Amino acid sequence: MNVRTSLLNRRDVLKGAVAAALPFGAASCGGRKSNALQVGGLPVTCNLTLPVACSARAASNSLANTDAPQFAYEYSKFSGWPEIKESLMSGAIQAGYMLAPLVMDLADRKIPTKIVSLGHRSGAVIMVRSDSPYQTFKDLTGKRIAIPSRFAVDFLFLRKMLARENMTPADVQIIEMAPPDMPAALYANAVDAYCTGEPFGAAAQRAGYAKVLRMTRDEWRNYICCVLTVREELIQKNPALVQDLVNHVLGAGVWLDSRPENRVKAVAIAAGRGFFNQDPNILQFVMDNPVDRVTYGDLRMIRAEFDELMELSIQAGTIKHPIAYERYVDESFTKNARAAGISL
């Protein structure tokens, strides 16, 4: 049985699940507030460098003692990766955080987009109920495990963990489900485990009914997932703006990992209605338990890591053949980057 044929219907899985009162805001796409570049993102801690970068640039602009135009960009919240992908494909937005394998797929389909920076490292978890006996993946044989999508790097993480115990996805029931639904599904025993990015693992763990089975910080230290992606016409039309955005993303990463107080400030920013609109206590839980649950300071673009990600995606069947690195990556902006100083 392959993954395509074993996917269960999300509606069937959630039927009868309790509507757990999780404190996540609605993740609809934010409206345009100005002529600033809209940068799409999801309300997930893997995207935390984006609210910090946007806030730092806005703060810098407000203090600038000049009449010259300043670079400006704003966070635009989306409900899922397919929506960001479609918006980038259509040109509705020119930049966004995306799943790296999705960008590879876009490049293969001749959609003019390029990865210009990483957004984070680590940040994915596999959760099970606190009262479950599960200690290994062999214990989950035949059980229901939720993933965000087949293109999600979380799915590749799950595949790596299964392979370590000589298992394949055919040995479990793979279910595609929106990450905000996963904690409630686990609480209701509609699934036996789920694999996703934060803060959707931390929400259930902090509530007391879930525990971590595995996390990338322990199992896949060079894990990459969300990447800053821009359309090629923006690179051609305004490379200085792209460079400034990359500088601020890299600066945000250094700032986030340099002092615990900065993470507290970042949580206060990201939890607001203009960004993630989430419970700051859950975001802070991600930042603290443990402190390297998600990291941001090392955003180097390393070709071998992308090659590994592509090979894993080919093995998973989500990418059909190798795609040249240069077709989906533009390294020039990180090579020329000067991490912006963040004053927040």
pLDDT higher than threshold 60 for residue 309:
yes
Is-contact 315 338, C-beta < 8 A?
Answer: no
Instruction: Tell me the mean pLDDT in the region 272-280.
Output: 95
pLDDT digits (tens, 9 = 90+) for 119-130: 999 999 999 999
Q: What is the pLDDT of residue 62?
A: 86
Q: Report DSSP state, residue 166.
A: T
Q: Burial level of 174, CB count in 10 A (0-12/13-18/19+)?
A: buried
Q: Look at residues 255, 171, 247, 234 and name the one whose alpha carbon lies nearest to residue 1.
A: 171
Beta bridge partners of 147: 176
Average pLDDT for the chain = 89
Question: What is the model's pLDDT at position 68?
Answer: 55
Rounded average pLDDT over 1-21: 38
State the DSSP string of 300-342.
Answer: ---HHHHHHHHHHHHHHTSS-S---HHHHB-THHHHT--PPP-
pLDDT at 232: 97
Distance CA 305, CA 101 (A): 12
Give the pLDDT confidence of 54-108 residue by residue, as tens digits: 999 999 988 876 665 579 999 999 988 899 999 999 999 999 999 999 999 999 9
> Within its chain, how far is the Cα of 233 from the centroid?
24
> What's the CA angle centered on 61, arms 57 and 67, to 5 degrees?
150
Domains 3-23+123-219 and 37-121+224-335 share a fold: yes
Average pLDDT over residues 237-252: 97
Q: Where are the domains of the chain?
A: 3-23+123-219, 37-121+224-335
- The pTM for the full model equals 0.88
pLDDT of residue 211: 98
Q: Is the pLDDT of residue 225 over 70?
A: yes
Distance CA(212)–CA(339), nearest Å, equals 34
pLDDT at 2: 43
pLDDT, tens only, 148-198: 988 899 999 999 999 999 999 999 999 999 999 999 999 999 999 999 999
d(CA 92, CA 100): 20
Residues 73, 96 contacting (CB under 8 angstroms): no
Fold classification of 37-121+224-335 is D-Maltodextrin-Binding Protein; domain 2 (3.40.190)
User: For the chain, first and last CA: distance in Å?
Assistant: 52
pLDDT of residue 113: 97
State the virtual CA torsion across 25, 173, 306, 117 in degrees, nearest 10.
0
Q: Is 109 helix (H, G, I), strand (E, B) or coil?
A: coil
Name the band, by pLDDT with cuts 50, 70 and 90, for residue 18. Answer: very low
Arithmetic mean of pLDDT, 246-265: 97
* pLDDT (0 to 100) of residue 221: 85
Architecture in CATH of 3-23+123-219: 3-Layer(aba) Sandwich (3.40)
